[in-house]
């Protein structure tokens, strides 16, 4: 998909190219987030098997598997803190 944008760059303006790349980056980020949550819900390995990440998503976002797993851990810890404070 990225190659199509680059090949057609001569036909569209720079602001349009920027918007398209931003859209692709957002889509890639949603792809990563979706797989991360699905893998967590199914107690499966993120980035492997059914939850294998499209390599383009890594390139477009600049994230790594480690970044995603750290974010999941932080979110889990914050959720636990909030849940504990509510139950008191």
What pLDDT, in 10s, does the model give residues 59-68? 999 999 999 9
Domain chopping of the chain, boundaries: 24-87
Residue 4 has pLDDT above 80, yes or no: no
Residue with tokens 């504990």: 84
Structure confidence at residue 7 (pLDDT): 55
Return d(Cα 56, Cα 21) in angstroms, integer. Answer: 12
Please say if the pLDDT value at position 54 is more than 50: yes
7-51: pLDDT as tens digits: 554 567 878 888 888 899 999 999 999 999 999 999 999 999 999
0.75 surpassed by pTM: no
Q: pLDDT-based confidence at 82, cuts 50/70/90?
A: very high
């Amino acid at each position: 998909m990225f190659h199509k944008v680059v090949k057609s760059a001569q036909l569209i303006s720079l602001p349009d190219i920027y918007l398209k790349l931003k859209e692709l980056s957002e889509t890639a980020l949603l792809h990563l987030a979706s797989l991360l949550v699905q893998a967590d819900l199914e107690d499966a390995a993120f980035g492997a098997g059914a939850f294998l990440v499209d390599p383009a998503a890594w390139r477009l976002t600049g994230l790594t598997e480690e970044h995603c797993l750290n974010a999941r851990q932080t979110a889990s810890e914050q959720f636990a803190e909030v849940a504990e404070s509510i139950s008191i």
